[in-house]
Amino acid sequence: MKKHNFSAGPSILPQSVLLKASEAIVDYNNTGLSLIEISHRSKEFVDIMENARSLALELLGLEGKGYKALFLQGGASMQFLMVAMNLLEKRAGYLDTGAWSAKAIKEARKLDDIYEVASSAEANYNYIPKGFDIPSDYDYFHCTSNNTIFGTQMKTFPKTNIPMVCDMSSDIFSRTLDFSQFDLLYAGAQKNMGPAGTTLVVVKEDILGKVSRDIPSIMDYKSHIKAGSMFNTPPVFPVYTSMLTLEWLKGLGGIAGIEKENDKKATLMYSEIDLNPLFKGFAAKEDRSKMNATFNLVNENLKETFETMLKEAGISAVNGHRSVGGYRASMYNALPLDSVKVLVEVMSELETKA
């Protein structure tokens, strides 16, 4: 039985992408060589990298606007430090909305002064702070658009006259936004793009080169821009699979096309959570994530029955993170609406058995 994969990451990928990627592992484009055997300096892979970077800018609407797209290694966790090394001169403002933003703050503080403009830690991050001030003399403002663990998502972003940096690891390419409001955004591939192993960074070139510190070459965005994401050996397979996923997304009508499907999935999921008395949502309603729905059983005595039903229905990876408990349905771009329907049917059936 093909499982309904609600994994928070590494997550589900389009079936067509998996098939094409698997073929390339054996023989890439009839070259007689595996994709993971060819040189990263070969024309075949240089074309892949250039296409992946170009597609990222095209889908985000940032072509010709002074941005560069990079595919790097080290995950979003590397970006916590890399952002600060490249942009932090005196102090910066960070919005604390979850585990990953807290880690970003911790890493940046190793270099200089960090100011938390607001935090929802006191409520176990079940909402997004609002109405906070961002000092205009800070080097940049950093936020996390979607919080995978807690199931919250920023619906709007503050207006500021300083560079805005955003960790979009778990909702990039999922909804239409004016992406030009961000001067730097980054996202690990393993949610909406590809397998773990590469991270997309999109940066406006004119914000770089303004810090006084000597940045190690491997940590300097300018090094990677100059080398076309080939400063060191890139993660060939994750970049290729990400390129295929971006091509798939473009074929669906881009971000606007997939957003319609994501809205349907989120509406169906949250309607069941709100209408079914056996379940209670974790995140504040106005801040609910369209990517990660977090919820709990009202009666824990039903836990064994519910989880048996989930298994029988072929539903995989809906257990919540230990910080929240309960359940988490991750509904990334590639998750079909039918999978959400199956989960909702199981939740509804549980109500009839209770």
Q: Please indicate, yes or no, whether the overall pTM of this predicted structure exceeds 0.85.
A: yes
Q: Measured on CA atoms in the order 117, 166, 196, 294, is the torsion positive or negative?
A: positive
Q: Is 22 annotated as a binding residue?
A: no
Fold of 254-353: Aspartate Aminotransferase, domain 1 (3.90.1150)
248 pLDDT above the threshold of 80: yes
The arithmetic mean of pLDDT across residues 103-119, rounded, is 94
341 pLDDT above the threshold of 70: yes
Collapse the DSSP code of 112 into the 3-class scheme (helix H, G, I; strand E, B; otherwise coil) and give the result.
coil
353 pLDDT above the threshold of 90: no
pLDDT in tens, 262-306: 999 999 999 999 999 999 999 999 999 999 999 999 999 999 999
Backbone angles phi, psi at 4, to 5 degrees: -90, 105
In the chain, where are the structural domains located? 15-251, 254-353
Collapse the DSSP code of 189 into the 3-class scheme (helix H, G, I; strand E, B; otherwise coil) and give the result.
coil
Q: Is 76 annotated as a binding residue?
A: yes
Q: Is 248 annotated as a binding residue?
A: no
- Confidence label for 69 from pLDDT (cuts 50, 70 and 90): very high
DSSP class of residue 56 equals H
The catalytic residue positions are 100, 167, 191
- Confidence label for 113 from pLDDT (cuts 50, 70 and 90): confident
Q: Is 41 annotated as a binding residue?
A: yes
Q: 1-15, 50-64, 197-211, 275-289: lowest mean pLDDT where?
A: 1-15
Secondary element (H or E) of residue 190: none
Q: Is 187 annotated as a binding residue?
A: no
- Confidence label for 1 from pLDDT (cuts 50, 70 and 90): low
Percent of the chain residues topping a pLDDT of 90: 98
Contact between residue 294 and residue 327 where contact means Cβ atoms under 8 Å apart: yes
Collapse the DSSP code of 266 into the 3-class scheme (helix H, G, I; strand E, B; otherwise coil) and give the result.
helix
Q: Is 233 annotated as a binding residue?
A: yes
CATH no., domain 15-251 = 3.40.640.10
pLDDT in tens, 145-178: 999 999 999 999 999 999 999 999 999 999 999 9
Q: Same CATH topology for 15-251 and 254-353?
A: no
